Structure 1
Amino acid sequence: MESLAMASKTVKTYCRFCHAYCPMEATVEDNRLIDLVPDTSNTLYGGYTCVKGRQLPEQLYHPERINCSLKKNADGSRTEISSVQALDEIADKLKAILKEYGPRAIASYNGTVSFQNSATHPVAKAWHVALDSPSYYTSITIDQPAKVGIGAARMGFWGGGSHTWRDANVALIIGNNTLVSHFSIPGGVPSFSPSNALREGKKRGVKVICVDPRRSELASRADLHLQIKPGQDAVLLAGLISIILAEELHDKAFCTDHIENLDLLEDSLARFTPDYVAERTELDKNDIIAAARLFAAGPRGTASTGTGPEMGPHPNLIQHLVQTINAICGRHYRAGEKLPNAGVLGPEAPRYAQAVPPNPEWLQGVRSRVSDDIGEVTVLTANGPIKEMPTAVCADEILMEGEGQIKALICIGGNPVLAWPGQEKAHEALKSLDLLVCIDYKLSATAEMADYVIGSKLCLEREDLTVLTDIWYEEPYSHYTKTVVEAEGDVIEEWELFWELGKRLGLNMSINQQHPLDMENCPTKYDVLSKMTTDSRVPLEDIYSREGGHTYDIPDVVIQPADPTTAGRMDLFPEGLSEEIESAVRDADASLLAKNDYPYLLISRRMKNTFNSTGPELSVLAAKGTTNPAFINPQDLAALGIQDGEVISVSSARGEIPAVAQGAPDIKRGVVSMSHCWGGAPDGSGDDKVREIGANTNRLIDNLDHPEKYTGMARHSAIAVKLSKTVQPETQEHV
């Protein structure tokens, strides 16, 4: 017993199952993880972890984990090979594709899990820049490209930053349920111990207005819940802004000094009267007026959105209107005020109380071959502005013949056959590639199709730094985690795949195009992170030397007065906005017509036991459900003669999927709520296993039915569907 005790150690680390990065303490004996518990000493998180993160030990030692590289043979079988051999062969194939088709033919898709490795995206982008290939795709442009790029490019933004939850008196939260998703851009309920953050906010008097077709966990604790008709978020926002302006509740001085085209916007929104908005959103007129007045009263706090409206109709317009309501109410830090957190990992830089004007160049990058209206998106990240191509049309870029056609795809921590809009097209595109490479810890639906699968290290087997969340915290906090257990088997990190291929292709790669990587000897993770955080406010070596996460006592960032030589104005009526408003009006008016063949609206949602397509393979999470039910109001189920737990058909004008019906009184009538990234391939072969693997809602849409300008963003939510009983055979008992 004494020898075992001597061999054990406790390591402070943090979870990377999702973006919340909850601190944990791991107990290790002889390089074996034997216990993983919340780090109760961490004052920022207060010992919070979620059920998903607590399953990391099972994920680490899962019997079906990929611990080597796999090569697909001509007959579809797989052969285990070394990672060195796999990388050599992949590099040779890439050289041939590069020679015949050019650099644009080589693409990478960096999925949701890739964001959890702090070095992946800067190294992946460095690889693309060195290769001269613009075909860099990430999951950002599947769900929220307007929020992280388009909005700022068209309207501009406030240099001093927007109010955070910490300083808020009111929060308008649209289609975001942080208590389950654990994801929120500053302004809404923080994703770090969200229940506690909400409880503390309510205690100090924060008023929460929640807009959601579902009485979600957050909506049930809001001061005002607007249970909106799906797809009408733009109409509601237009109405709220119109009321605020008509009643002169806006910050007139701020608007005079920092905003242009307010009069044009006000005129364009005149039709959005409370009666007009109430009829189309199916909300009470008095609630709409109350929401406008409550938000305008503030005096501090912001409006923010989640994937609900961002994945539905008119996301570019919605984001513009969200930024607009924040701007006209002056919800920004002013000269002399302290910014709660300017980040720990970036360089010191003054922040000015002035508007940064629109940047049209962010909308004028490489064009998609699908449409000149769609092209490279400039995304504002922790590592600065990064250009990427829109994932919504990646399948078309693969299938469309001609110069620039994608022939090779490297998939990093993603599952495009389940995640990309228009699943049948996505599946066809992935099958048609000359080369598909995946790095993953399991054989996902996409990895099943890959020519090569390379086993990846999991989060507890690698060092990491809280780069992604650096400016999301509401205080200067950072956490560098050491490796908890050394990886067993022949596995690598995601960023190492790009470095290894870069070396074999003879590329010269630089982080942020400024800091060259050693292309002869593979750098350490620390080396890469140090190049990513050059001149950081807190030196990386200081963060590295501390055990666990820490809030740093560094000088406050005080907002400086405007610099008259650089001060700009935010544009409330940019080019194309009038057309977007008219489009939203047409859709809203059409929604009042008699019910058509598809009388229900399908919306997206998150579930506690999964993170996109990761989770159902783990026993504790599987025990909570192995399907993505169709959550439906019990009154609608009764009207349709459908029993709770019955397998039904959900069909749209584009496709049909089975689903397990589940009564949910928190769902608005006429609405169906289902989680995405479930099911199998779109050939229907897995439909009889819907209770075991769920169904993929992307089979119900075509990605080019309603593509957004700039991003090609598809409509994943507010999809018109009909529900019916099915005679499809079932393979297991109702659960």
Structure 2
Amino acid sequence: MKKAAPHETDISRITTCRICAGQCGIIVELDAAGRVDRVRGDPDNPLTRGYACIKGLTLGEAHSSPNRILHPLRRTDDGRFVQVGMNEALDEIAERLGKILAEHGPDAVAGFRGTMNYTNSLAAHMLPAWLAAMGSHSFFSTMTIDQSAKWITADRLGVWEAGKDPYENAEVLLVIGANPLVSLSTFTMVMQNPVKALKEAKARGTRLLVIDPRRTETAAFADRLLQPLPDEDAALVAGMLRLILEENWADREFCEHNVEGVEALRDALAPFTVDHVAQRCNIAAEDLVAITRDFAEPHPDGRRKRGAAASGTGANMGAFSNLTEHLVECLNVLCGRFAREGDAIGNPGVLGARWPRRAQAIAPTRGWESGWRDAWGYGLLMGERMSAILPQAILGTGTGAVRALVVDGGNPVNALAETAETAAAFGNLQLLVSIDPFLNETSRLAHFILPPPMMLERADIRSRDWESYTLHEPFHQFAQMVARPPENSELIEDWQVFWELAKRTGHKIIFDDVPISMETRPETEDLFRILLRHSAFPAEDLLAEKRGVVLRGDPMCVKPAEPCPPRFQVAPSDVLAELETLAGVRRQTSALRLVCGRVRHVQNSMYHDLPSIARRMPENPLSMHPDDMASRGLVPGALARVRSAHGELRVTVAPDRNLRSGVVTMPHGWGDGRGANVNSLTSLIQGRQTINAMPILSGFDVMVDPVDRNAGQGGPGN
């Protein structure tokens, strides 16, 4: 008999949480019926070491929630949902899809990848494979809602084949508009047990620099914190780059061999003097110089510092977001903050093949400029369409008009700008299918809701394609299925929906470049084996490893560059044009600036109504500095009206001394009867970026006024 893993008994099982990219090791305790009774962190997991956040610890409440959908639902003409059999639902969906394909063509059928599709490895591959089988270009995801600037930067600046400076070698880490101790989504930081990992890094001598208008949970550990006005990130980083070039803090040798356009960039940065940037950002000039010196100035003996800069949604969801991200990565490029020949590769990979990394750039291709384009002039970004275009595509005509949409594990009605207008557009779809265990703003509009097993009721592996970004060590753990689906439920795995629809419409799925049978539905483990067919370790061993282990294998180091390697392009013409436009922008206003943020308790729009979460955070208040509250006659718990150029909300206010004065903040992802959706204050059109249609979702001006609770004007969110 196989020996049980530590802490694994007849009533407890070891697996992983799959809410976010951290994927913490957890122990799930079961009741006599095999249902989830309690979740706790696994102390024997070599990466998470007993850590699990509040979201993972409430997985039991989510799995047993009385609000969970346990059978397929069809929406009737009067808006009610009625239960139908799974095969009946799939047959009718396929029939409607067939008619839409015949009348409007393949691009009229779209798919949307939500957060829970990203952490479901089979569904993450099957959704785009289903669209490709039909010949549809209409693949949308959350990536083009929050951080698509990173994809644009990679494809117009270039990337370093060997990656950024290894985390364990970092002398300095710069975080701009990100809060990785809460979001667990900043690739230069450790995502597993992040507080402990950061404390250990600081004990090794790593200095943490944070640029954020709020003293976040991450900023609380900063050696230096700079709190500028929001939405001045591009100007601020432009000023840092100008100073680096002016003070000769750049890595001259690295730039000579690997960078093109330094002088053109220098010229374009001329307007962004220290004094100019300090005035724009409302910070002290000496503080800007100090944080730039901390990051960029070489050691007295001339050695470069090690450690990279990274940004998050704070920088990627405001105006000039594409320019901001480009300039942030230029900090790394000019200072040469990349793994060099001979450096050990911390995570050469487990699930995928190990391949040699060379100390050289990968040239940008600007892929959105060639190939397919929709009627609104947008191409594809890493194979995806721009999510902010989706409401227009639903209501419009021409190339890329959308008539049917399948949403897997997401809530785009909540996540996109102009909430009411987006919802109205989704209501015009000829077919909307939501694969989700709960009702939300999107699934309430769906013609069909197909409930999947929740994460503890299915097995999974980590993302093969993202493992080197989300893990700094070659770690693997097969996430075993540990709980039974609820009794008498009728559920379908997310990936199976796409296979079943393809079969019914006569399309052949190519799964990860491998044709699969369309006669007999594949077994889950067979699909895992396809994804693991080039793995660095035997697939059978990986599928049996349920405890979590670091698999180092033979050590790998960065290889030398090829002769005449590609170069980073720091000054393409569109970046120079954006810098010129930025230099002419002046925001003089008496309004407050609102930034969106994350909170520990929830992941985007998920699980707000779970009892443990609702007790801790029943709504998402507008946080304000106490001085800003006092000047407007507001007290803690007061009701306020928040107005932007595009909408208004009524919200409860709460004091937060961690904010700088002049800045207010609200968590995103709320609404649907709990809290208020901050995206109701935003526009799908005004100010959006030219390449990716990214709207301004953070850092915009608002007015905040008190509301008389007795005036009959409704409660928060109305």
Structure 2 length as normaliser, TM-score? 0.95
Partner of 1:375: 379
Give structure 1 regions of 4+ aligned residues with deviation exceeding 3 angstroms.
727-733
Partner of 2:467: 470
| Structure-1 separation of matches of 2:238 and 2:250 | 14
Partner of 2:551: 552
Query: Is 1:446 the counterpart of 2:442 in the alignment?
Result: yes
* Structure 2 contact 119–463 (Cα < 8 Å) conserved: no
* Structure 1 contact 600–671 (Cα < 8 Å) conserved: yes
Residues 1:483 and 1:43: Cα distance change in structure 2 (over 3 Å): same
Partner of 1:706: 687
Query: Is 1:180 the counterpart of 2:213 in the alignment?
Result: no
**SS across alignment from 1:195:** helix
Partner of 2:80: 77
Pairing of 1:98-497 with structure 2 (within 5 A): 98-147=101-150, 149-185=151-187, 187=188, 189-297=189-297, 299-370=305-376, 372=377, 374-378=378-382, 387-467=383-463, 469-471=466-468, 472-488=470-486, 489-497=489-497
Query: By how many angstroms is 1:321 displaced?
Result: 0.8
Query: By how many angstroms is 1:166 displaced?
Result: 2.0
Residues 1:448 and 1:273: Cα distance change in structure 2 (over 3 Å): same
Which amino acid in 1 is paired with 2:550? Answer: T
Which amino acid in 2 is paired with 1:548? Answer: R
Q: How well do the aligned residues superpose, as a CA RMSD in angstroms? A: 1.8
1:718 to 688, 691, 699: 699
**SS across alignment from 2:703:** strand
Which amino acid in 2 is paired with 1:377? Answer: L
* Structure 1 contact 419–677 (Cα < 8 Å) conserved: yes
Query: Is 1:529 the counterpart of 2:525 in the alignment?
Result: no
| Structure-2 separation of matches of 1:110 and 1:160 | 29
* Structure 1 contact 8–27 (Cα < 8 Å) conserved: no
State the Cα deviation string for residues 535-594 of structure 1 (Å, max 9, x = none).
Answer: 1112321111122211003112211111126x211111112011111222233xx21x35
| Structure-2 separation of matches of 1:217 and 1:32 | 34
State the Cα deviation string for residues 567-623 of structure 1 (Å, max 9, x = none).
Answer: 211111112011111222233xx21x353xxx1111010011111111211100110
Which amino acid in 2 is paired with 1:22? Answer: C
* Structure 1 contact 363–377 (Cα < 8 Å) conserved: no
Which amino acid in 1 is paired with 2:524? Answer: K
**SS across alignment from 1:137:** strand
Query: Is 1:63 the counterpart of 2:92 in the alignment?
Result: no
| Structure-2 separation of matches of 1:89 and 1:305 | 45
State the Cα deviation string for residues 130-185 of structure 1 (Å, max 9, x = none).
Answer: 100000101011000111x1111101111121113322100110011111212221
**SS across alignment from 2:467:** coil
Which amino acid in 2 is paired with 1:153? Answer: D
Partner of 1:3: none
* Structure 2 contact 593–662 (Cα < 8 Å) conserved: yes
Count residues in correspondence.
Answer: 697
Which amino acid in 2 is paired with 1:166? Answer: E
> In terms of mean alpha carbon deviation, does 576-585 or 650-659 score higher?
576-585
**SS across alignment from 1:657:** strand
Query: By how many angstroms is 1:531 displaced?
Result: 1.6
| Structure-1 separation of matches of 2:473 and 2:268 | 40
State the Cα deviation string for residues 211-246 of structure 1 (Å, max 9, x = none).
Answer: 101011111220110101100111111111111111
Which amino acid in 1 is paired with 2:511? Answer: I
**SS across alignment from 1:119:** helix
* Structure 1 contact 211–225 (Cα < 8 Å) conserved: yes
| Structure-1 separation of matches of 2:424 and 2:331 | 42
Query: By how many angstroms is 1:273 displaced?
Result: 1.2
> In terms of mean alpha carbon deviation, does 549-558 or 80-89 score higher?
549-558
Query: By how many angstroms is 1:508 displaced?
Result: 0.9
* Structure 1 contact 101–403 (Cα < 8 Å) conserved: no
Pairing of 1:19-34 with structure 2 (within 5 A): 19-28=21-30, 29-34=32-37
* Structure 1 contact 470–478 (Cα < 8 Å) conserved: no
Partner of 1:538: 537
Residues 1:15 and 1:515: Cα distance change in structure 2 (over 3 Å): same
**SS across alignment from 2:241:** helix
* Structure 1 contact 102–404 (Cα < 8 Å) conserved: no
Partner of 2:4: none
Query: By how many angstroms is 1:30 displaced?
Result: 4.1
**SS across alignment from 1:723:** strand
Partner of 2:301: none
| Structure-2 separation of matches of 1:539 and 1:267 | 53
| Structure-2 separation of matches of 1:604 and 1:7 | 43
Which amino acid in 2 is paired with 1:660? Answer: T
Query: Is 1:647 the counterpart of 2:639 in the alignment?
Result: yes
| Structure-2 separation of matches of 1:120 and 1:616 | 24
Query: By how many angstroms is 1:17 displaced?
Result: 2.1
Partner of 1:694: 675
Structure 1 length as normaliser, TM-score? 0.92
| Structure-2 separation of matches of 1:162 and 1:625 | 37
Which amino acid in 1 is paired with 2:573? Answer: E
Which amino acid in 2 is paired with 1:487? Answer: P
Which amino acid in 1 is paired with 2:157? Answer: M
Which amino acid in 1 is paired with 2:239? Answer: G
| Structure-2 separation of matches of 1:579 and 1:7 | 62
| Structure-1 separation of matches of 2:651 and 2:605 | 17
**SS across alignment from 2:351:** coil
| Structure-1 separation of matches of 2:206 and 2:315 | 23
**SS across alignment from 2:22:** coil
Query: By how many angstroms is 1:7 displaced?
Result: 9.3
Residues 1:313 and 1:438: Cα distance change in structure 2 (over 3 Å): same
Residues 1:418 and 1:214: Cα distance change in structure 2 (over 3 Å): same
| Structure-2 separation of matches of 1:407 and 1:153 | 30
State the Cα deviation string for residues 187-215 of structure 1 (Å, max 9, x = none).
Answer: 2x322111101111111111111010101
State the Cα deviation string for residues 15-62 of structure 1 (Å, max 9, x = none).
Answer: 112221010112334422333221100121111000111111111111
* Structure 1 contact 363–710 (Cα < 8 Å) conserved: no
* Structure 2 contact 367–380 (Cα < 8 Å) conserved: no
| Structure-1 separation of matches of 2:249 and 2:594 | 35
Which amino acid in 2 is paired with 1:240? Answer: M
> In terms of mean alpha carbon deviation, does 543-552 or 47-56 score higher?
543-552
State the Cα deviation string for residues 627-660 of structure 1 (Å, max 9, x = none).
Answer: 1110001100000001111111101111111111
| Structure-2 separation of matches of 1:113 and 1:605 | 19
Which amino acid in 1 is paired with 2:203? Answer: K
* Structure 1 contact 457–491 (Cα < 8 Å) conserved: yes
* Structure 2 contact 374–399 (Cα < 8 Å) conserved: no
* Structure 2 contact 318–696 (Cα < 8 Å) conserved: yes
Which amino acid in 1 is paired with 2:544? Answer: S
Query: By how many angstroms is 1:529 displaced?
Result: 2.2
Partner of 1:54: 57
**SS across alignment from 1:464:** coil
State the Cα deviation string for residues 481-535 of structure 1 (Å, max 9, x = none).
Answer: 12112323111121111111111111111123x2112211111222222222321
Residues 1:7 and 1:122: Cα distance change in structure 2 (over 3 Å): closer
**Unpaired stretches in structure 2, ≥5 consecutive residues:** 1-7, 298-303
* Structure 2 contact 670–677 (Cα < 8 Å) conserved: yes
